[in-house]
Amino acid sequence: MTTQQREISLARGLKGVYLDTTESSDVQGDIGKLIYRGYNIHDLAEQSTFEETIYLLLYGKLPTRAQLNQFGATLHQSGKVPGPVIDIIRSVQKSHPMDVLRTAVSALSAFDPETEDNSPEATLRKGIRLTAQTPTIVCAHDRIRHGLKPVEPNPSLNFAANFLYMLKGEAPSEADTKLMDTDFILHADHGSNASAFGARVAASTLADLHCAVVAGVATLKGPWHGGAAEKVMEMALEIGEESKALSYIEDRLKKGDRVMGFGHRVYTAEDPRARHLRDRAKALGDRMGQPKWWRILSAVEERMRPYARRGICVNVDFWSGSIYYLLGIPEDLFISIFAIGRVPGWAVQVLEQQKNNILIRPLLKYVGPMDVPYVPIDQRS
C-alpha cells in the first residue's frame, strides 16, 4: 500500500503535537502560567536577575552568590566579538539587524575554539559565549550603521545595563536597567516556540550549536514570531492618540485584519509575561513624560477584551514594543532584543535535544500528479 492509498491525517503547523519532553520551561497555556525549571515566571520577574535566570536555565538551579559572581565574570569575559566579525558587520550594515545578527553569529563559528565539539560541556560553554556575544553584535551594528564607533563592554555593569551602555554609549539609569533586565528574563525560554524548535531541528542532525542558534535567529525574524513587538508599536504610532484608538481597531476588525499583540498558539488565557511589562510600561511612560503610548495601548487592550472569552488574549509582544520605544531603541532592533533574551533558551533546548537525540523529520503527503511520462524536450508544448 503506498502513501497515496492510505488515509492520512495532517498535523498542519504541528498544532497540539507534543514533540518531546523538556525540563526547561513549561507553558501552561490554559491557565496562563509559565515556569522556568520549576520557578514561576512571576517570582523570577520580580526577584531574579537575567544573569541568575540564564544560570538557572543552563544549570537547572539558582546559583549561590559565589556561583553567580563567577558566572557573571565568565559572561563578561565571553562578550568580546573578534575584529574580523566586526568587519563583517560593517560590510553588511545596511541590512536588517536580524540579518546582520544571523550573519555575525554564523561567522563567529570561524573563531570559536570549540565550534564542532558537540560534547555537553563544550555546548554549554558555547551557549554562554553566544549569550554574551549577541548583545555585543547587536550594539556594534547599531553604532556602526549610525556612523559611531562600537562601545567596548563595561565589566562593571550587569548584562542588561551593559547592553544599554554598548547601545547608547552611556551608562543607563537604574530604572532603565531593571526594566531591560526584566524584559530579558521574560524572553529567556518558552517551550517549543518556532525558533527554539528550528534550533532543535538543526541539532537533531547532530549539527553543532552555532548551526542551531543561526537557525533560531533565522526563524525568529518573522513577523509571526519575533517581529510582533515592532508591529504593535507601528500600530500605536499609526493610531497616534488615545481618542483614535477605538475607531482604528473597529476599522481593522471590520476589514478582518489581525490586531497585533493578541492571541498566541499556546495561551488561551492571558500571557503571564504581559502583566510585568504592562505595569512597567506605564511607569516608564509616566517617568518619561510620555504617558500617551500606554494609554493608546490600554484603549486597544480594552477594545479587544471581549475576544479573551474566545482565547484571544494580550501577549508579551503587546507591551514590550512601547518599552523599547520609550527607551529610545530603534524599532528595527526590537526583534534583536528578543533574540538577546532567547539565546539561553535555544542553548538549553539544544542540550536537551542532544541528550536524548532523534532526527526530527516529519512526512509530507504528496498531492501532485503521478506517473507522468517523460517527454523529450523537442516534443513538449
Q: Which is nearer to a copy of itself, 47 or 156 (CB)?
A: 47
Q: Which is nearer to a copy of itself, 147 or 362 (CB)?
A: 362
Task: Label the pairing between strands 39-40 and 33-36.
Answer: antiparallel
What DSSP character marks residue 373? P
Query: Does 264 participate in catalysis according to the annotation?
Result: yes
Q: How far is the CB of 331 from a copy of itself (least distance, A)?
A: 14
Q: Which is nearer to a copy of itself, 209 or 299 (CB)?
A: 209
C-beta separation of 79 from 132 below 8 A: yes
Among 32, 44, 71, 284, binds a copy of itself (CB under 8 A): 44
Choose the stretch contacting a copy of itself; rule: CB under 8 A; options: 70-78, 88-96, 280-288, 320-328. 88-96
Distance between CA atoms of residues 126 and 227, nearest Å: 26
Distance between CA atoms of residues 236 and 250, nearest Å: 14
Q: How far is the CB of 97 from a copy of itself (least distance, A)?
A: 11
C-beta separation of 262 from 305 below 8 A: no
Q: What burial letters (b/e) apply to 296-311, b meaning 16+ CB within 10 Å?
A: bbbbbbebbeeeeeee
Q: Which is nearer to a copy of itself, 328 or 366 (CB)?
A: 366
Distance between CA atoms of residues 19 and 318, nearest Å: 28
43 binds a copy of itself (CB under 8 A): yes
Sketch the per residue contact string, 95 through 114, with a copy of itself: x for CB under 8 A, - otherwise. Answer: xx--xx-xx--xx-xx----
Instruction: Name residues contacting a copy of itself, limited to 262-291 (CB under 8 A).
Output: 265-266
What DSSP character marks residue 15? T
Name the active-site residue from 264, 279, 286, 378.
Answer: 264
Coil, strand or helix: which one is 192? strand
Instruction: Name residues contacting a copy of itself, limited to 3-22 (CB under 8 A).
Output: 3, 8-22
Sequence-ordered list of residues with C-beta below 8 angstroms from that of 254, at least 6 positions apart, any chain: none
Q: Which is nearer to a copy of itself, 4 or 173 (CB)?
A: 4
What are the angstrom distances between the C-alpha of 90 and each of 95, 215, 235, 281? 10, 22, 31, 33
- Classify 159 in phi/psi space as left (phi over 0), alpha (psi -120 to 50) or beta: alpha
Q: What is 137-161 written as a DSSP string? A: HHHHHHHHHTT-PPPPP-TTS-HHH
Distance between CA atoms of residues 225 and 88, nearest Å: 26
Instruction: Name residues contacting a copy of itself, limited to 116-175 (CB under 8 A).
Output: 116
191 binds a copy of itself (CB under 8 A): yes
94 binds a copy of itself (CB under 8 A): yes
Binding-site residue total for a copy of itself (CB under 8 A)?
A: 116
Sketch the per residue contact string, 211 through 240, with a copy of itself: x for CB under 8 A, - otherwise. Answer: xx-xx--xxxxxxxxxx-------------
Instruction: Kindly state the cell numbers that stand for 247.
Output: 475607531
Q: How far is the CB of 195 from a copy of itself (least distance, A)?
A: 8
Instruction: Name residues contacting a copy of itself, limited to 296-355 (CB under 8 A).
Output: none
376 binds a copy of itself (CB under 8 A): yes
Instruction: Name residues contacting a copy of itself, limited to 56-85 (CB under 8 A).
Output: 62-65, 68, 84
Q: How far is the CB of 243 from a copy of itself (least distance, A)?
A: 32
How long, in residues, is the chain? 381
Residues acting as catalytic residues: 264, 317
